[in-house]
A and B are shown apart, each in its own frame.
Chain A
Amino acid sequence: METGSRTAAGKEMLKLDPRTKLAILITVGIIMMSGKLTGIEYILRLICTCVPFLLLISVKLYKTAVISALILFATVLCEGFVIPNTKGILNLMIMIICGVISRFGPGYICGWYVVRSTSVSEFVTVMERMHFPNIITIPMSVMFRYFPTLKEEYLSIRDAMKMREIGQSIKNPFTYIEYILVPIMMSTSQIANDLSAASLTKGLGAGRKRTHICSIGMTCIDYILIAAMAAMLVIFFVF
């Protein structure tokens, strides 16, 4: 379960503070979800489309970076230049397809990057520094760690179903969902038990102040990036 977060952390070119990553995630999320397609906001959207590309490059996933950048740019340009010139049902079709990709895509990639490149320890330490209460921090860190696991679980369940030739010809969607969801729920409650045992061993329940060995600190780049994100949000909301 650890593999997802650990392998990527070692080979980053650019090490960002988790606070910076959160700022990027929020900015890209807000601008891509609710940005307009005209004027200054369209330029902001174009800038935000570059962000996932740069983030993926920084964890050395060149191929993924190029492919996703091509798709995202195609959809955003499509929104800007094709949609105003089409009408009727065609307009609606392009609108929906491009809309789903360009609005959820960048946020999804940024979120994936944050989960992938931040270790749980870093995340908890930073949340502690920002004075979030434990009651929110611990569930959230568990969530962050659980998302990649969920995907792995889903893939292995799908494999298992293929192996036994279930799932190709199911007519009733509820049966299909039951076949997927029930094993996931089973493993989820198992993982919950395992994690509580593990965290007890690590002394999370001791009620003392937590110590850590990961190095967290804002560097020059962090300040520049946070300032840039804040500036973008200000431009976004004021104009």
Chain B
Amino acid sequence: MKTKFEIKDLITVGIFTALYFVVTFIVACIGFIPIFMAFMPLIGPIFAGIPLMLYFSKVKHFGMVTVTGIIIAILMFITGHPYPIFIFCIGAALITEFVLRAGKYSSIKHCVIGSATFSLWLLGMVIAFFFGFREAYFASLVDGYGQEYVDKMQSYTPTWMFFAMILMCLVGGTIGGLLGARVLKKHFKKAGMI
């Protein structure tokens, strides 16, 4: 097992992070409609899990997933998400890192679990709806989005929703991972690309 970063690894990180980010971003745009916002942590990882599994099959040593997490956090921050996103992205990436390591970077089962844990970074996007951030955030939203929208949002996101979202992330990530594993088996194994 190699431990040092090579240029090849960095390029793999860049290109697959780009693909993952685009897929997630497209799904996240749907999250603007209030009811979908609540289910975004479930829907997002299902689609994003497919390219993520291909990426995980190319990850060969510690650190690559963390770099992906950091880059996603930077991009999310630039597009106007609050700072807790850094904590969530890097945290989720580190957990995933340990999961993949436990599977020695070759076990499909661990990749599926990793896909579930990596999806947890999505919580960083919705953290503003909950806990200490909640009151201030909704107050700032009233001016920006109008009272009707905020009422709708508020009714979809009671505090227990946060824990439901954790569950949704994990379930969505697992489904996405399994789907990805099937796609990999169907298309990539046969073509000899892994």
Residues of A within 8 A of B (CB): 25-26, 29-30, 32-38, 41, 83-84, 87-88, 91-92, 95-96, 99-100, 103-104, 107, 134-136, 138-143, 146-147, 150, 174, 177-178, 181-182, 184-186, 188-189, 191-192, 195-196, 199-200, 204-205
Contacts and interface: CB of A to CB of B under 8 A. Distances in A.
A147 B18 contact: yes
Most buried by A among B23, B47, B79, B191: B79
A186 B14 CA distance: 16
B14 A37 contact: no
Which range holds the interface residue count of chain B?
35 or more
Q: Is the interface of B mostly helix, strand, loop or mixed?
A: helix
A30 to B, nearest CB: 5
Which of A32, A41, A88, A185 is the most central at the interface, judged by chain B CB atoms within 10 Å of its CB?
A: A185
A192 B15 contact: yes
Chain A at the B interface: mostly helix, strand, loop or mixed?
helix
A34 B77 CA distance: 12
B183 to A, nearest CB: 6
Contacts, number: 141
B110 to A, nearest CB: 20
Contacts of A139: 10-11, 13-14, 17, 67-68, 71
Interface string B49-93: 011001000100001000110110010001111000000000000
A205 B19 contact: no
11 contacts: A33-B81, A95-B146, A99-B32, A107-B79, A135-B10, A135-B67, A142-B15, A174-B179, A192-B11, A195-B15, A204-B7
Contacts of A138: 7, 10-11, 14
Given A29-B78, A146-B18, A205-B7, A96 B33 contact: yes
